Amino acid sequence: MSEWWKEEVVYQIYPRSFCDSNGDGIGDLPGIISKLDELKALGVGILWLSPVYASPNEDNGYDISDYRAVNPEYGNMDDMDRLIAEAKERGIRVIMDLVINHTSTAHPWFQASRDPASPYRNYYYWREGTNGKLPNNWTGFFGGSCWAYDDRSRAYYLHLFAPHQADLNYHEPKVLEEVKEILRFWLDRGIAGFRCDVINILWKDSLQSSPKKAVLTGSDHYLSLEGTHRILREIRNILDEYDAFTVGETVFVDTKQACDLSAPERRELNMVFGFEHMECDQRIVKWFKTDFHPARLAKALSRWQQQVPWNTLYLENHDQPRSVSRFGSARYPIHSAKLLATMLFTLKGTPFIYQGQEIGMTNFDFTSMAQVQDVESRNIDALLRSWHVPARQRWRMIAPTSRDNARTPMQWTVEPQAGFTTGTPWLGVNGNYRFVNYASQKENPDSLLNYYKQLIPLRRGSETLLFGSFEPLRISDEVFAYRRVGTGEAYTVVLNFSDKPQRVPYVGELVLSNYGYNRYDGLLQPCESVILRERMDDHVKTK
């Protein structure tokens, strides 16, 4: 099997918010096709589409009602075929989101399963509560219990996410057989692989109650269990027939579990998304934001770099706030966005760009819950309200972490609605589009976008940046420095996360500074990042 996905850069598209071609305010497939030249110019080799399947959109497509149909809001199957073909012409492969932990409750399987006599009954977890109590004490990812009662069934069904996302029951062997057919359906159309949604929680070993936990009571019954490993190996057999690629979204994994899920010889996933570095600024996941400590981010990243053979490199996705708002300096936003990009493309692994990251899109400018649509934010808000938390306080907790921060429409131009749509966008456009937009950055040689366009070929053209080993040099709240060592050469990357100049002892020939400098003397400006190169023969060991 070739490992083509190691050298590529992935670009994630959240279709609803990317580009609207017909003025209905919703991004769509023809809109994506119209931007393929831009993506090619950026240097991406893989496009990951968040779900475009038929869906009632309770969770914007992560609730699928037909795995073989395109959501009409986004286009039709011809558009999908055209997207795959046009991307291929430009050397870009398309991967899809595979959401198989749950289906929408509107899916025909679920509708049929509501009848206890149906052959589909066992596709889901139906349980009667005992003595008027819920079947167990588990909590869901979006807060509250993960059981919903269905009057018609006179029973509860399990939903680890929103009530409209019913968990599939993999103890029923037919479920996996259905999934395999779905995989073939898309692979035969030319899809190059899948990003697998919450893929390490498929197998539930039992539905027993669990000891109460701060986050997610019950997770000991489904996180990365042997049953899941077995399913992944079966799926992999099919993927290998097509030389297809998988990246697993794996929740709550440590480096050991990440290795178990992605080690090549185990033949499960090719790589996984870990979350440890994304939790470096949050005390209890999602709920309370504390200050950002660069050393914590660097420490988590370093550990993964050293312990996991091949990583995903990401700082954003459709569930996370924008990286520049989170990890960047308010005084030096552009330099810090460039610094973060430097880090993204010089660590070891496959880099992922989330739409808008390449132009430094920021968190939303919304001022109240009324502007938010995300089901997770709405659930958390309702839960906090039930605890009598005042509205202002609720907003202060939700605004910085809401998933809608990442979902505001892509900012293409200075035209109304940022050129995303000629109609009314489904979610508000950030007012900063007048100065944060694609068109003006394309023209400006010093822009973040053009900095990405320098970094991507630099990585691609260097065996050392692609495959060289990783060694941390310094981890502090001011400076994160590391070395990538290859044959005959080494790169030293120095990132000054602070707002103050920093003197560092590292040497080498300057390859790239995010200040655009062409001289380096060991003194870094606020939020300056440098990439230095040394040939091994003149290599002097530095600390």
The site partner of 161 among Ca ion, ligand ISL, none (C-beta below 5 to 8 Å per kind) is: ligand ISL
348 is a contact residue toward ligand ISL (CB under 6 A): no
Which one of 19-27, 270-278, 392-400, 484-492 is the stretch in contact with Ca ion (CB under 5 A)? 19-27
Which one of 14-22, 45-53, 239-247, 382-390 is the stretch in contact with Ca ion (CB under 5 A)? 14-22
Q: Which of 11, 14, 28, 359 binds Ca ion (CB under 5 A)?
A: 28
List Cβ neighbours of 250 (8 Å cut-off, separation of 6 or more). Answer: 198, 199, 200, 224, 257, 258, 261, 269, 272, 273, 274
Give the H/E segment covering residue 306.
helix 294-307
- Helices H / strands E in the chain, number of each: 15, 22
Nearest to 473 by CA among 456, 446, 457, 495: 495
The residue (of 242 and 287) whose beta carbon lies closer to ligand ISL is: 287
> How many CB atoms are closer than 10 A to CB 144?
13
Between CA 350 and CA 93 the distance in angstroms is 14
381 is a contact residue toward ligand ISL (CB under 6 A): no
Which one of 15-23, 121-129, 182-190, 244-252 is the stretch in contact with Ca ion (CB under 5 A)? 15-23
Between CA 352 and CA 280 the distance in angstroms is 19
The site partner of 22 among ligand ISL, Ca ion, none (C-beta below 5 to 8 Å per kind) is: Ca ion
Between CA 74 and CA 89 the distance in angstroms is 22
At residue 111, φ and ψ (nearest 5 deg) are -60, -45
198 is a contact residue toward ligand ISL (CB under 6 A): yes
Is 63 in the active site? no
The residue (of 260 and 376) whose beta carbon lies closer to ligand ISL is: 376
Q: Among residue numbers 295 through 324, which ones bind ligand ISL (CB under 6 A)?
A: 318-320
The residue (of 22 and 320) whose beta carbon lies closer to ligand ISL is: 320
Between CA 139 and CA 129 the distance in angstroms is 15
Between CA 106 and CA 53 the distance in angstroms is 13
At residue 303, φ and ψ (nearest 5 deg) are -60, -45
Site string for ligand ISL, 25-64 (x = CB under 6 A): ----------------------------------x--x--
Is 249 in the active site? yes
79 is a contact residue toward Ca ion (CB under 5 A): no
Total residues binding Ca ion (CB under 5 A): 5
Which one of 26-34, 36-44, 458-466, 508-516 is the stretch in contact with Ca ion (CB under 5 A)? 26-34
Per-residue burial over 254-293, b if 16 or more Cβ lie within 10 Å, else e, is: ebebbbbbbeeeeebbbbbbbbbbbbbbbeebbbebeebe
Which residues lie near Ca ion (CB under 5 A)? 20, 22, 24, 26, 28
Which residues lie near ligand ISL (CB under 6 A)? 59, 62, 99, 141, 161, 197-198, 249, 251, 286, 318-320, 376, 403
